[in-house]
Structure 1
Amino acid sequence: MSTQPPRAPGSPPLSGLVVADLSRVLAGPYCTMLLADLGARVIKIESPSGDDTRAWIPPERNGEGTYFLSVNRNKQSIALDFSDAADLATAKQIVARADVVVENFKVGGLKKFGLDYASLSGNRPELIYASITGFGSADGADLPGYDLIAQAVSGIMDLTGQALGEPTKVGVALVDVITGLHALSGVLAAVYARDATGKGDHIQVDLLSSALSGLVNQTAAYVTGGVVPRRMGNAHPSLYPYEPFPARDKDIVIAVGNDGQFSRLCHVLGTPQLALDTRFATMSARNGNRQVLRELLCERLATRDAQHWFEALSEAQVPAAPILTVAEGVNFAESLGLDPVVETGGAGRRIPTIRHPVSFARASVDYSKAPPRLDEDRVAVLDWLGSGR
C-alpha cells in the first residue's frame, strides 16, 4: 500500500493513490483514466500485444487509434506476459504497491496467476479490488462482456430507433461508459470507507446491471408500474412536446418539461391560446393529444428557420436546441466557454483529448501525460518499484 502524504493545496484530489490497471478496452480504462485525471498514479499493465483498442483503427492520429487515445491519458504503460515468471513477478510487485486494482479479465481468469482478489486480499486486507464483468460472476460468468451484447439483452436496443423500425444500438458504447462510472464511484466509496476502517473491499460491477440501472425511468416503468416500455423514436413516454420538430429549413429539438415552459413556447410561436386549451393545458392532456398538438406546432414552426426559433425559445427560457454533428457539438461547447478540448503530454507528443467533466474550486485535474505507447514507461515503473517511493 502506498504512503499518502497530506495533499498540497490545489493539487489533484487523489494525489498519492496508486492504481494497478489490469483492464482493457473501455469500461475499465475509462474508470482508471478518470482516476488518473484526479491525480492517482495509474500503471497500465498490458499484454505484449497491448490493449485491444490500440488496433481499433480507423480513426487514427499518426498511426495511433483514437479509441485507445480517448480513455488512456495520464497512465504509465508496462507490457508484461503473465505466463513468464519474471514478468508475473513484476506484476505482483506493482500490485503489492497499489492501493487499488482494477481488472476486467474473464471471471476466474486471474486466479491461476495469483492476481485474483482471494489470492491477494489474505495478506492485503486494505486492498481495494474492482472487478468489471459482462454479466456477473454467477450464471452469466461465461457470457462475452461486450457493450453491444449488453445493449441487446438489457432492452436498450429494443427502446432505440423509430417506433416501426428495427431495434438500434446507441451511437456510442454507452453501457461501457456507464459501467466505468459505476466502477469509479465504487472505488471512491471504498477509498473513503478505508480511510475510516483501514479495510479494503472487493467491488464488483457488471455491464447488464449497469445498463438496467442506467435505464432509470424505463426499467422503473416495468418493475414499478408493470408497463413494458416501447420504442418511440425520438419521443418521450411521459413528456410532450419533447422531440425534434421540423422548422422551415431543418429540425429543431424542443424539450418541454412543465406547463410553464409550454405556455412560454406557445407565446413565442404566436399561439398563446394553445396553453389555455384543455386538450393541451397539462402534461397529461398533452400526452393524450400528441398528434393534434404536433400538427399545430409544426404549422407555426414551418414559418421560420431553426436558428430563429432556437434563439427566440432560448431567450424565453424554453429548452430547445439544434441537432448538431459531433464536431459542431464540440464547437458549441467551446462557444459556451466550457473549453472541452485539452492537450495532454509534453512538447514532443501532445494529444488533444476531451476535458475531464468535473472541475474543482480547491483542487486541480491533471492532463500532464499523453496516452502512453505500449511499454513506454517500463523503465520509469521499474525505477519506481526499486526506489520504494
Structure 2
Amino acid sequence: MSPTLLRDVAIIGGGLVGSSAALALRRMGFSVVLLDKGFCGAQASGVNYGGVRRQGRPPEQIALSQRAHAIWPRLNEIIGIDGEFVRSGHLKLARTEVEMASLEAYAARVAELGLDLELIGSNQLRERFPWIAGNVTGASLCPGDGHANPRLVSAAFAHAARLAGADVLEHTPVSHVEKAPDGFYLSAGSATQIKAQFVINSAGAWAGPFAEAFGEPVPLNRIYPSMIVTEPLNVFMDVNIGAEGGGIYARQVERGNCIVGGMRGEPLAASDFSRPTGSGAVTIMNRAAALFPPLRHAYAIRFWSGTEGEMADRNPVIGFSRTTPNLIHAFGFSGAGFQIAPGVGEVLAELVRDGESRTPIQAFAIDRFARTAQSSRAGSVPEPIKRETAQ
C-alpha cells in the first residue's frame, strides 16, 4: 500500500482555475497536490473559444475580471509562454435597436469600473470595420480585451505549477473525500491516499457531487459549447467579436485561421464528452458568413465541443464552504471562465493563506441559492464557516 501523501492543499480539478491556484499557492510556499481525472486543461479550460474579455460580464464579476486582466500580459513571466495572447479589443455587435439600447445601458452601468467602453454607431462601424456586413445597428468596443489560445495556456499553467514544485497527478480521479478533525482525507486513482489541511473543489462540470458530499447541493448543469476553425485566410479580423444576445462569436489568429462559435454540441453516451452537431455547425457558419464576407467561401477544417458547468444564475461559485472548514469551492463558470481563471487562482491562494481575498467575491457564495429559498421562510442565515487554524 502506498504511503499517504501529506500536503497543505489538495486541488480537485486541473483546469485553468485549479492549475493557476496550484501555481499561486506554490509561490506562497504551500505544498500542493493537483489532481485531474484526465489531462490537466483537457476539458473546458483547453477547448473553449479563447475569448479574453471583460465586456459583457455582470458587474459583480468586474473586480475579479480586472484582476485577471492585469495577469494576461504577464504570461511569459508567469508560465513561460505568451499563450498567443493578443490585446485586440472586444467588439460586441448590436443587430437591432433593442440590442443597441442594451449595450448603452450596460456601458452606463459599468462606467465607473474601468472598462473604457466606446459605443459606436452604424456609420462609424462601417468606416472602422468595413469587413463587417449585414444589418448591424452599432457596437460597443472594449479596447483592452483580447483573445488567446486555450490549448496552450491551460496546459502551461499546470506545467508551471509542476516546475514550481506542485505534485500534478493526471489520470487520477478523486473517488472519495472526507473531513476529519486533523484534516481532509482523499482517495484517488488506483491507490493514492492524500491528507491535506485544505481542499479546493475546482472540478468544473464534475464539481457538484463533491459539493453535495459536504451538504451543499447546487443547481449545476452541463453545457457543451461548440466551435469551428477555418482554413488560414488573409488576416482581416482585427478584433475579438461577440454579439449582444449571443448566437455568434469569432476571432482570427495570426496564422489566418478563424475560430467561430455560437451553438452547442450534444453529449455522448458517456456525458463527460460531447460532439458538435451537423445542424449547429451549418448554422454557425451561415451566421458567420452573413456577417463576415471573407468567410463565405472558406473551408471549415475542424469542429469540436467541450463540457462545461453552468450555474442557474450564470455566476460562478467561489469561496469557502458554508458547512466545512478549509473547504473552498471554485466552479460553475458557465462558459465564461477563461479570462477570469488566472485571477480566480490568485484569489483561492489568498483564501488559503489569509482566510479572505482582497478581491470581492461575496456574490459568488455557494449558499446564495439556499439563501433565496430560506428568505421566503424568514430567519437569518448564519455566518459562513471559513477556515481552521493551520496545524
With normalisation by structure 1, the TM-score equals 0.23
Larger Rg: 1
Higher strand share: 2
Higher helix share: 1
Higher relative contact order (CA 8 A, sep 6+): 2
